[in-house]
């Protein structure tokens, strides 16, 4: 099922995704019934207005479910009738009844509460749950029935090939329309009726519209705009316009429009540029040449009998009549039209338009691509007189203020040209634009109304003020017409002024005492009537009929007798509403019932976008929109079809929008929604706040109670603290006294250590001095022994040697060394003992060397103590490093201080 609101289409599928064969909107049940292939159900607005499908056929027994294509659905007195290929399902109070027609059902129709069906065996009427043949309609049994519509006290039965028949339930007779041959040759497939109008859709030649009272027929087919000639279904809308479902596509036929196409693409004779009624012939100038057709134009199912004028191929710009002569202004030059032929005048080329010179019957101005010519008529023959000197601009549009003053518009400038008395040269040319009062430089078209020059502009009508030499707004013409609007042409015809714009044609009476009272505004609604850019024109044929050249050919405008207003009261509606943050989310879509749920939008998504429009299927109205929120000031006029609001505070909102049309009428719609408060401002949040407040009061009470307790505890604590402070003071004084005692003991120990160290040092010094003395004595003994000679000295030598040996023994085994080591161990934490345990292979000198290094003595100080040279000291240090297996980067003193 397709849904169209005038601007957008929506598609809705059935459960089995079959093609939809029938649609029935039901306002009583607030739903849309649809039928497909072996399936039927209904759509109804769901949450947010979106149509939701409910399948009804799933609830019936399989024996009655398979009814084939559901071609029609009817409703009467809360009874639903579903027409299949060969039977009718009757639905009442939740129960289905299958009624077999015993024949293939071609069509069905509900007329005055009675269900009629057309079958291969004639027309039948449903009475209760049984079909009975329509009385008096036996002649229809052999005919193929296409439709049944109400008429008078009976019905009109439409057949495929045999025309229409009227039956009142007793007698059946042909209903003659005058189009029986057409109906027989093109096979009627469908029918629709509205008031006195009967629309018959054919297989081969589009639609024929018959007025039941006047029997006037109209034809709509590919020749005048229909997309396709095969019409399979039709329906009238509430505006009495016709919708047609074609073999390919959907067409909307504006029956109440004043416009019809004479011909259109692709059956075209070219783009329309000019038209003129002359000698009972309507001449049509196009970009392909000049054509003519007998007037009045006979409109039937075929193209009008339009024929080309001989030797006219090429671009025709205009058709003008001067006296009794009709001129064709052509790209190849100026031609005089004579019936179905035309002859060239002169040898100029590129002519735009021509006008008889004011006050001179036998002379005319001819505007050409590069200036203007004067033609004159001598002895009944027109010929070129001369070209106006000094005027080189293209003169496509011009009007005469007088015989010597011409206004010329040329795409981007408007000129006032003053000619010499003999009309042979331009004496003065002056340009008028924005600086001279015009609203723009372009799209200015000069016209002559009631013997006065006016200008059609994008901002209304303007006129020339000769006193100020400027342009001024012509309120008189605007008031006479449809106000200040965009005019592309102004034209005078039979004491009427006619204005043309892209959207409308306005006709006003120049002689009317009350200006604007009888103004007729005719909207140009058909999208196919696209005016030729830069060549917009309207050609009045008489007071009630006009021709409008356009891109596809020519449109015929029948002027309505009175100024009419369309009913726009139900055309405005809110189409869709989206939550636009953080991403687009649809919350409402317009539905056929106009029902609107009030969406509740979370505060976190408080930015919305509202889309609105009018339900116009012709797209021809000029509309301005205004909107407001919660009864505020109306916005400025806009053509935008959307409105966004962001960061809305919580609360209830009513959005109002109205469309204002050119005739002053308006249509409005509203939409209500609610922005929910944020979570911290909801009722639950306030309840939580109340609970928290009560808890806070309870906490304050408990806190104050505990504060009193803490104060009492603080007093006790302060007293305890004072006592503790006194105890700490006592402990501090006690610690100071103990520290003083320890310092005294430490001083005593240091004194004892110093004393011991001094004693050891004295002992070592004495030991060294003793050894030195013994060594000196030993040396002196050697001198004495060596000086004694003779036999008598032998005993003396013997005694001296004994003394020498005693001295050596005293030097080597002096117990003083033992005392020194013991003393050294006492002072240096058993250093010598640990050294002996770790390195038992050390000699005496090496052990002493280690002791001296432990005492941080230098090599110079150690040498005399060991009775060796400084080099000897270094030698011992080297031997010690090898014995201690020290690396290059390890120090000997460091090793003795840390490892021993």
What percent of the chain lies above the pLDDT cut of 90? 46
Does the pLDDT value for residue 513 go beyond 50? no
Report the half-sphere exposure of 669 (CA within 13 A, side-chain side). Answer: 21
Residues 6+ apart with CB under 8 A from 419: 388, 403, 404, 405, 406, 425, 426, 427
Predicted local distance difference test score (pLDDT) of residue 864: 76
Report the distance separating Cα 717 and Cα 150, nearest Å: 109
User: What tens digit of pLDDT does each residue of 640-667 get?
Assistant: 899 999 999 999 999 999 998 866 788 8
Kindly indicate the confidence band of residue 218, based on its pLDDT and cuts at 50, 70 and 90.
very high
**Average pLDDT score over residue span 583-597:** 84
Asked if residues 417 and 423 have their Cβ atoms less than 8 Å apart, the reply is no
The answer on pLDDT for 408 being more than 70 is yes
- Tell me the per-residue pLDDT of 690-747, one tens digit each, with 9 for 90 and over: 999 999 999 999 999 988 988 988 888 889 888 988 888 898 998 898 888 888 888 8
Burial class of residue 525 in the structure, from the number of CB atoms within 10 Å of its CB (0-12 exposed, 13-18 middle, 19+ buried): buried
Q: At residue 138, does pLDDT exceed 80?
A: yes
Instruction: Report the 10 Å Cβ neighbour count for 139.
Output: 15
Position with higher pLDDT, 365 vs 303:
365
Q: What's the confidence (pLDDT) of residue 50? A: 86
Sheet with strand 371-378: strands edge to edge: 351-356, 363-368, 371-378, 381-387
- Between 751 and 56, name the one with better pLDDT: 56
C-alpha span between 501 and 622 (Å, rounded): 11
Residue 540 tokens, joined: 């009045």
Q: What value, to the nearest 5°, has the Cα angle with vertex 612 and ends 609 and 613?
A: 155
For residue 635, give every residue at least 6 positions away whose Cβ sits within 8 Å of its Cβ, in sequence order, or none.
626, 627, 628
pLDDT value, residue 225? 82
Residues in CB range of 504: below 8 A, 6 or more apart: 482, 521, 522, 523, 524, 622, 662
Of the ranges 103-117, 518-532, 706-720, which one carries the lowest mean pLDDT score? Answer: 518-532
365: nearest Cα among 403, 331, 335, 338: 403
* CA-to-CA separations, 384 to 362, 409, 720, in angstroms, rounded: 12, 23, 135
Q: Answer whether residue 528 shows pLDDT above 70.
A: no
Pick from 564, 555, 558: nearest CA to 544:
558
Element (H, E) at 494: none
* CA gap 666, 627 in Å, rounded: 12
Higher pLDDT, 7 or 492: 492
SS3 assignment, position 155: strand
- In the structure, what pLDDT confidence band is assigned to residue 621 with cuts at 50, 70 and 90? low
Measure Cα distances from 388 to 15, 351, 368, 371 in Å: 78, 14, 11, 7
What's the rounded Cα separation, in Å, for the pair 280 and 295? 5
Question: Considering only 62-66, 177-181, 368-372, which range has the smallest mean pLDDT?
Answer: 62-66
According to DSSP, residue 138 is labeled G
Q: Say how many residues make up the chain.
A: 900
At 413-456, the pLDDT tens digits run 899 999 999 999 999 999 999 999 998 888 888 999 888 999 98
Please give the Cα distance from 291 to 306 (Å, whole number): 7
Report the percent of the chain where pLDDT is more than 70. Answer: 93
Model confidence at 337, pLDDT cuts 50, 70, 90, reads: very high
Note the pLDDT of residue 764.
67
Q: Give me Rg for the CA atoms of the chain.
A: 62
Q: What is the pLDDT of residues 668-691, one digit of tens each?
A: 999 999 999 998 888 899 999 999
- Quote the CA–CA distance of 597 and 562 in Å, as a whole number: 42
**118 confidence band (pLDDT: 50, 70, 90):** very high
For helices 683-787 and 859-866, what crossing angle results, to 10°? 40
Q: Report whether the peptide linkage leading into residue 31 is cis, meaning its omega lies within 30 degrees of zero.
A: no
Greater model confidence, 768 or 319? 319
**pLDDT mean across residues, the chain:** 87
Q: How far is CA 520 from CA 497, 578, 681, in A?
A: 11, 41, 59
Query: Would the pLDDT of 523 be above 80?
Result: no
The residue-averaged pLDDT of 754-783 equals 71
d(CA 750, CA 212): 144
Q: Give the pLDDT mean for 400-424.
A: 91
Tell me what pLDDT residue 763 has.
Answer: 66
Of residues 543 and 72, more confidently modeled? 72
Q: How confident is the model at residue 900 (pLDDT cuts 50, 70, 90)?
A: confident
- CA 443 from centre of chain: 34
Placement of tokens 């693409």 in the chain:
265
* pLDDT over 80 at 485, yes or no: no
61 pLDDT band, cuts 50/70/90, is confident
């Amino acid at each position: 099922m397709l849904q169209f609101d005038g601007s957008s289409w929506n598609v809705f599928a059935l459960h089995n995704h079959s093609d939809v064969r029938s649609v029935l909107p039901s306002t009583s049940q607030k739903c849309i019934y649809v039928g497909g292939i072996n399936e039927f159900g209904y759509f109804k607005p769901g949450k947010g207005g979106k149509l939701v499908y409910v399948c009804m056929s799933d609830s019936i027994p399989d024996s009655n479910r398979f009814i084939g294509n559901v071609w029609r659905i009817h409703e009467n007195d809360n009874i639903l009738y579903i027409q299949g290929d060969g039977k009718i399902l009757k639905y009442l109070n939740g129960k289905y009844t299958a009624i077999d027609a015993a024949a293939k059902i071609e069509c069905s129709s509900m007329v005055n509460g009675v269900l009629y069906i057309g079958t291969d065996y004639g027309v039948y009427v449903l009475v209760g749950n049984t079909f009975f043949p329509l009385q008096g309609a036996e002649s229809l049994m052999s005919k193929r029935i296409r439709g049944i519509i109400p008429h008078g006290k009976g019905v009109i039965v439409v057949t495929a090939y045999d025309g229409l028949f009227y039956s009142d339930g007793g007698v059946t007779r042909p209903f003659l329309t005058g189009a029986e041959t057409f109906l027989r040759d093109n096979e009627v497939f469908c029918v629709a009726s509205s008031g006195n109008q009967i629309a018959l859709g054919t297989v081969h030649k589009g639609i024929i519209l018959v007025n039941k009272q006047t029997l006037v027929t109209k034809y709509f087919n590919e020749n005048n705009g229909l997309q396709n000639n095969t019409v399979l279904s039709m329906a009238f809308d509430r505006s009495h316009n016709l919708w047609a479902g074609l073999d390919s596509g959907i067409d909307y036929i504006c029956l109440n429009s004043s416009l019809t196409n004479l011909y259109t693409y692709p059956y075209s004779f070219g783009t329309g540029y000019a038209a003129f009624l002359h000698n009972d012939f309507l001449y049509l100038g196009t970009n392909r040449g000049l054509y003519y057709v007998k007037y009045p134009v006979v409109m039937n199912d075929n193209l009008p009998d339009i024929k080309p004028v001989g030797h006219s191929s090429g671009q025709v710009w205009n058709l003008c009549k001067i006296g009794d002569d009709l001129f064709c202004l052509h790209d190849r030059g100026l031609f005089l039209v004579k019936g179905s032929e035309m002859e060239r005048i002169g040898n100029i080329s590129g002519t735009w338009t021509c006008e008889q010179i004011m006050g001179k019957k036998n002379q005319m101005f001819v505007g050409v691509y590069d200036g203007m010519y004067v033609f004159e008529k001598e002895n009944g023959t027109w010929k070129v007189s001369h070209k106006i000197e000094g005027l080189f601009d293209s003169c496509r549009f011009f009007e005469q203020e007088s015989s010597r003053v011409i206004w010329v518009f040329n795409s981007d400038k408007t000129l006032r040209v003053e000619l010499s008395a003999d009309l042979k040269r331009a004496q003065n040319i002056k340009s008028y634009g924005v600086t001279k009062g015009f609203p723009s430089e372009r799209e200015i078209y000069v016209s002559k109304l009631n013997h006065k020059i006016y200008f059609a502009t994008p901002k209304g009508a303007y006129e020339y003020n000769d006193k100020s030499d400027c342009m001024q707004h012509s309120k008189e013409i605007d008031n006479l017409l449809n106000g200040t609007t965009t005019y592309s042409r102004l034209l005078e015809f039979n004491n009427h002024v006619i204005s043309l714009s892209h959207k409308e044609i306005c006709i006003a009476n120049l002689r009317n005492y009350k200006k604007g009272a009888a103004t007729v505004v005719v909207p140009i609604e058909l999208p196919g009537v696209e005016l030729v850019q830069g060549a917009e024109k309207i050609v009045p044929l008489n007071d009630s009929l006009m021709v409008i050249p356009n891109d596809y050919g020519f449109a015929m405008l029948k002027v309505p007798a009175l100024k009419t207003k369309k009913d726009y009261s139900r055309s405005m509606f809110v189409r869709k509403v989206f939550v636009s943050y953080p991403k687009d989310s649809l919350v409402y879509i317009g539905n056929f019932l106009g029902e609107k749920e009030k969406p509740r939008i979370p505060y976190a998504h408080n930015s919305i976008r509202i889309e609105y429009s009018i339900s116009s299927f012709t797209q021809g109205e000029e509309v301005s929109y205004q909107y407001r929120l919660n009864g505020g000031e109306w916005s400025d006029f806009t053509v935008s079809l959307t409105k966004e609001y962001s960061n809305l505070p919580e609360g209830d909102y009513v959005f109002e929008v109205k469309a204002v049309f050119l005739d002053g009428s308006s249509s409005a719609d509203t939409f209500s929604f609610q922005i929910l408060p944020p979570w911290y401002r909801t009722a639950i949040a306030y309840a939580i706040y109340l609970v928290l407040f009560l808890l806070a009061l309870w906490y304050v009470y408990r806190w104050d109670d505990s504060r009193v307790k803490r104060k009492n505890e603080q007093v006790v604590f302060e007293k305890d603290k004072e006592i503790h402070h006194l105890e700490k003071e006592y402990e501090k004084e006690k610690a100071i006294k103990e520290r003083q005692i320890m310092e005294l003991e430490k001083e005593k120990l240091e004194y004892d250590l110093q004393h011991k160290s001094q004693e050891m040092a004295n002992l070592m010094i004495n030991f060294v001095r003793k050894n030195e003395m013994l060594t000196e004595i030993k040396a002196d003994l050697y001198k004495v022994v060596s000086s004694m000679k003779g036999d008598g000295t032998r005993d003396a030598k013997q005694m001296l040697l004994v003394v020498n040996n005693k001295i050596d023994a005293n030097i080597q085994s002096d117990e003083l060394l033992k005392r020194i080591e013991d003393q050294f161990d006492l002072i240096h934490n058993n250093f010598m003992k640990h050294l002996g345990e770790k390195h038992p292979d050390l000699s005496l000198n090496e052990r002493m060397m280690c002791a001296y290094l432990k005492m941080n003595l230098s090599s110079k100080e150690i040498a005399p103590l060991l009775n060796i040279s400084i080099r000897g000291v270094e030698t011992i240090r080297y031997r010690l490093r090898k014995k201690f297996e020290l690396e290059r980067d390890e120090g000997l003193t460091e090793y003795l201080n840390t490892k021993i």
